[in-house]
């Protein structure tokens, strides 16, 4: 009987080893001004931030939101705030709402991709019921504040209403109240906790660490030894703020050193970002940009940001591509090898090729915000009134130009309504007057700037380029059609931290 033979030829195919999932460390500063980092020419010393960013990629056209909660919301959802109902203001302590529970957050995506997830610091995305807490939204561990504006040592948050003032502890370890840290400075506690978490991480499992520092938000508080280098600063608020920046710089140094010491650094992508522009009322500076925190001017929305780590292909560079805080979620999920396929479309883009390889950004347009409830209640010198009469010529394009809104497309930026305090605050220590302050004439409800050539927003070109204005108004109108109603409920009378001495879920 014939016997058949099957000859198998083995072809040698080179094995392509899958890149390991990188650890992701995101450090967020609070109210950190554009001018307040050394490499932007500040008189404040930031040696660690300067060195770390110089070894990575500095993001010079990086945008955040003008206030706290919206920035954190877009970081965690990858979606514009008009699509989550959070387009107006921050979450106030006794408001019964949070980032909508049907929104999938960044740590949830990363957990699906096999990551352990940890958060240290300020949450401020809602806490009126337990389902809103960080540990219920994807974080394995949490340590920090649920609200904002806490005392840096007592870790209490005071809240004023019509009849009385309530001050209560706002500090959690997981979901449990943590009262044993009273008297310890928050920047030091948070960096120590971050270091401890890094030291415990398994090298065989990737981790995501979100360090949301309280620094450098008011109240202005810092240990005295951080003030010693700043005897030359005469403004007491600026001097205190400078010391707080130095404390933050040291905290970032300690976190980075822990990554290096434990061997995690070689497989880590580290991002540093502010959450909004600096608050000029509390020592911050965005010079030479116009405006401040809470405004749609560049001083409110252009943020200090950089990426560091050995995984960058073009380190030691400066990036001028358009990047937004909503881009981090799709970028990190892509790095993790995860999927962003959800029922809710993302507004962010994967910008890792842009950051690491220097290719053009996939983002060509950026909606800063559309907030129909906006009112500007903070002190603003030489405040100008808004005139709507000159906006009549744009009324046929469907968008109500009295609404506080701004959009960026290519080199153009269009602002409508009242963008907020429109001053150019002088460089710290410069007591000379600025002859280029806005005139006494009322503000126009439609203003157009060439941000690439005029980053200080000094020359309004709306009358010269009506076709650009028309196009951007039509884009705002399209965005407005996709917006969900603003969610900004009144305070819940059941919220009474004075009764328990502790802030936390009450519903």
Q: Which residues carry out catalysis?
A: 68, 124
Closest listed residue to residue 219, CA positions, set 156, 292, 275, 144: 156
The Cα–Cα gap between 249 and 189 comes to 14
For the chain, the straight-line distance linking the first and the last C-alpha, in angstroms and rounded, comes to: 84
The Cα–Cα gap between 483 and 289 comes to 29
The Cα–Cα gap between 220 and 244 comes to 8
The Cα–Cα gap between 154 and 343 comes to 43
Beta strands in 31-107 (DSSP E): 57-59, 62-63
Asked whether 370 and 476 are in contact (CB, 8 A), the reply is yes
| 362: number of Cβ within 10 Å | 16
Asked whether 276 and 68 are in contact (CB, 8 A), the reply is yes
Handedness of CA 149, 151, 156, 161 (dihedral sign): negative
Closest listed residue to residue 175, CA positions, set 150, 213, 140, 215: 140
Prior bond of 106 cis (ω within 30°):
no
144 beta partners:
121, 172
Token pair of 302 as six digits: 């252009």
Q: CA distances (Å), 97 to each of 12, 93, 137, 352, 361, in order?
A: 59, 10, 14, 33, 34
Buried b (16+ CB within 10 A) or exposed e, 132-146: bbbbebbbbbbbbbb
Token pair of 358 as six digits: 């220097």
Length of the chain, in residues? 507
| 379: number of Cβ within 10 Å | 9
In the DSSP assignment, the letter for residue 105 is: P
Closest listed residue to residue 441, CA positions, set 370, 374, 405, 389: 389
Number of H helices and number of E strands within the chain?
10, 18
| Phi/psi of residue 404, nearest 5 degrees | -65, 105
- HSE-CB for 275 with a 13 A CA cutoff: 29
């Amino acid at each position: 009987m014939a016997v058949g033979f099957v000859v198998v030829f083995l072809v040698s195919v080179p094995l392509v080893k899958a890149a390991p999932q990188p650890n992701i460390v995101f450090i967020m500063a609070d109210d950190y001004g554009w001018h307040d980092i050394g490499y932007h020419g500040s008189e404040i010393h930031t040696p660690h931030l300067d060195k770390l960013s110089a070894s990575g990629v500095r993001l010079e056209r990086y945008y955040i939101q003008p206030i706290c909660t919206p920035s954190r919301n877009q970081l965690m959802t990858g979606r514009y705030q008009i699509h989550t109902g959070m387009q107006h203001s921050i979450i106030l302590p006794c408001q019964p709402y949070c980032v909508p529970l049907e929104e999938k957050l960044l740590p949830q995506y990363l957990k699906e991709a096999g990551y352990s997830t940890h958060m240290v610091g300020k949450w401020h995305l809602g806490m009126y019921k337990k389902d809103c807490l960080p540990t219920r939204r994807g974080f394995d561990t949490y340590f920090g504040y649920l609200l904002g504006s806490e005392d840096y040592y007592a870790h209490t948050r005071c809240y004023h209403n019509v009849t009385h003032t309530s001050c209560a502890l706002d500090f959690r370890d997981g979901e449990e109240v943590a009262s044993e840290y009273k008297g310890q400075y928050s920047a030091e506690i948070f960096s120590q906790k971050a270091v401890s978490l890094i030291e415990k991480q398994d090298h065989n499992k990737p981790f995501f660490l979100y360090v949301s520092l309280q620094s450098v938000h008011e109240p202005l508080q810092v240990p005295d030894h951080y003030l010693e280098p700043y005897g030359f600063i005469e403004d007491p608020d600026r001097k205190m703020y400078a010391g707080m920046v130095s404390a933050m710089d040291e905290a970032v140094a300690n976190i980075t050193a822990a990554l290096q010491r434990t061997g995690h650094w070689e497989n880590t992508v580290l991002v540093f970002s502010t959450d909004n522009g600096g608050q000029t009322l509390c020592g911050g500076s965005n010079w030479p940009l116009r405006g401040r925190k809470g405004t749609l001017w560049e001083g409110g929305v252009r943020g200090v940001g950089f990426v560091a780590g050995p995984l960058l292909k073009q380190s030691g560079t400066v990036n001028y591509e358009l990047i937004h805080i909503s881009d981090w979620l799709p970028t990190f999920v892509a790095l993790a090898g995860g999927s962003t396929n959800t029922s809710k479309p993302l507004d962010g883009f994967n910008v890792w090729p842009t950051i690491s390889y220097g290719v053009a950004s996939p983002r060509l347009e950026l909606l800063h915000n559309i907030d129909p409830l906006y009112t500007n209640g903070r002190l603003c010198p030489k405040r100008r009134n808004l005139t709507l009469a000159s906006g009549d010529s744009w009324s046929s394009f469907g968008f109500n130009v009295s609404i506080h809104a701004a959009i960026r497309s290519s080199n153009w930026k269009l602002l409508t309504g009242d963008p907020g305090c429109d001053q150019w605050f002088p460089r710290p220590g410069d007591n000379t007057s600025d002859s280029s302050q806005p005139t006494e004439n009322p503000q126009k409800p439609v203003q157009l700037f060439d941000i690439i050539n005029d980053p200080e927003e000094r020359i309004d070109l709306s009358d010269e380029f009506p076709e650009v204005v028309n196009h951007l108004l039509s884009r705002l109108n399209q965005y407005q059609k996709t917006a969900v109603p603003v969610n900004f409920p009144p305070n819940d009378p059941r919220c009474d931290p004075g009764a328990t001495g502790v802030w936390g879920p009450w519903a």
